[in-house]
Amino acid sequence: FDGKYIETSGVSKDYSIVSIGCDYTATKAYTASTNGYANIDGKELTDGILATKALSTDWHAFHHSITDAQGKMSVTVDLGEIRNDLTHFYAHFDNRMIAGIGSPAGIVISVSNDGRTFRELARPKLILDSTNSCFKYETEPVTARYVKMSCGGMGGAFVFCSEFLIGVKNGTSVDE
């Protein structure tokens, strides 16, 4: 997946990522391990770095036993302000069933202006290869400050996610 679906710089010729460095809340990561993924800093999902090594510190290790109030593994990104130009949504996952790491199932992207009331935006389809999976969802501009991704597991104890990125079509950003 290295650059195949999103350039690792976080920017493509068509859109710019606006979520890099943004704060987020997520269901607690599984850290009861001596592997690298146990030593995270809470910035993994919006740092713009696609993980390339299994079990490294670039992954947020969601575990099927640690869920939100709806029984899902989830992450909510706070963009810091209400934006009316959100068009691109992307997430990158590990897919190593031999290690108990499965791809997510039933992914839902939801948006909110207040962080409390969310409306469903999409249920994106995963793109899979032998060791990774991702989704890239594009839409007409939507308005939100908070963007939530929630999912279940497709097998295995874990879902490892290295990025959940939100972007805007170039030439339409409120920052331009």
Q: What does residue 55 show for φ and ψ, rounded to 5 degrees?
A: 65, 20
Please indicate, yes or no, whether the overall pTM of this predicted structure exceeds 0.85: yes
pLDDT, tens digit (0-9, with 9 covering 90-100), for 12-38 = 667 889 999 999 999 999 988 888 888
Q: How far is CA 43 from the centre of its chain?
A: 12
How many Å apart are CA 148 and CA 112, to the nearest integer?
8
List, as one string, the DSSP characters of 17-32.
ES-TT-EEEESPPP--
pLDDT, tens digit (0-9, with 9 covering 90-100), for 106-121 = 999 999 999 999 999 9
